[in-house]
Amino acid sequence: MTLSTLPAPPVKQSTPLPYIPIATLALALLCSTAAAADPLAPQRADMVKEIATVAAAAGAQSGRHALDPRVMAVMGQVPRHEFVPDPQKVYAYENRPLPIGHGQTISQPYIVALMTDLMMVKPGDTVLEIGTGSGYQAAVLAGLARAVYTIEIIEPLGRQACDRLKRLAYRQVACKVGDGYYGWDEHAPYDAIVVTAAASHVPPPLIRQLKPGGRMVIPVGAQFLTQYLLLVEKSGDGTVSTRQILPVRFVPLVGKH
Ligand code: SAH
Of 32, 107, 200, 241, the active-site residue reads 107
Question: What pLDDT score does 35 carry?
Answer: 52
Q: Which of 136, 251, 256 to mutate to test the pocket of ligand 1 (most atoms within 8 A of CB)?
A: 251
Distance CA 34, CA 206 (A): 41
Site residues for ligand 1, CB cut-off 6 Å = 104-107, 130-131, 133-134, 136-137, 151-154, 157, 179-181, 196-197, 251, 253-255
Nearest CA to 195 among 254, 125, 155, 110? 254
* Known catalytic residue at 241: no
Note down pLDDT in tens along the chain; length 257 residues: 333 333 444 433 333 344 445 444 444 544 455 555 789 999 999 999 999 999 999 999 999 999 999 999 999 999 999 999 999 999 999 999 999 999 999 999 999 999 999 999 999 999 999 999 999 999 999 999 999 999 999 999 999 999 999 999 999 999 999 999 999 999 999 999 999 999 999 999 999 999 999 999 999 998 778 899 999 999 999 999 999 999 999 999 999 88
Number of structural domains the chain divides into: 1
Is 80:133 a contact under the CB 8 Å cutoff? no
The verdict on residue 211 lying in a domain is: yes
Give a yes or no: residue 253 inside a domain: no
- In-domain check, residue 24: no
Task: Answer whether residue 50 is part of any domain.
Answer: yes
pLDDT given for residue 19 in this prediction: 47
Question: Which is nearest to 248 in space by CA: 104, 76, 111?
Answer: 111
Task: Report helix, strand or coil for 256.
Answer: coil
Minimal-distance CA residue to ligand 1 atom 2: 133
Between CA 85 and CA 203 the distance in angstroms is 31
What element of type H or E holds 257? none
User: Is 93 within the bounds of a domain?
Assistant: yes
Rg of the chain over all Cα atoms, to the nearest angstrom: 24
DSSP codes joined into one string, 205-239: HHHHTEEEEEEEEEEES-TTS-EEEEEEEE-TTS-
Whether residue 19 is contained in a domain is answered as: no
DSSP secondary structure string for all residues of 40-73: THHHHHHHHHHHHHHHHHHHHHHS-SS--HHHHH
Task: Please give the residue range of the domain that contains residue 192.
Answer: 39-248
In a domain, 238, yes or no: yes
Asked whether residue 47 is domain-assigned, the answer is yes
CA distances from 41 to 31, 32, 119 (A): 10, 11, 26
Cα(120)–Cα(46) distance, rounded to whole angstroms? 24
Q: Which atom of ligand 1 is nearest to the CA of 100?
A: 8
For ligand 1, the distance from its centroid to the CA atom of residue 36, given in whole angstroms, is 34
pTM of the model: 0.87
Whether residue 140 contacts residue 165, with contact meaning beta carbons closer than 8 Å, is answered with no
Q: What is the CATH number of the domain that holds 99?
A: 3.40.50.150
Nearest by Cα to 197 from 242, 155, 255: 255
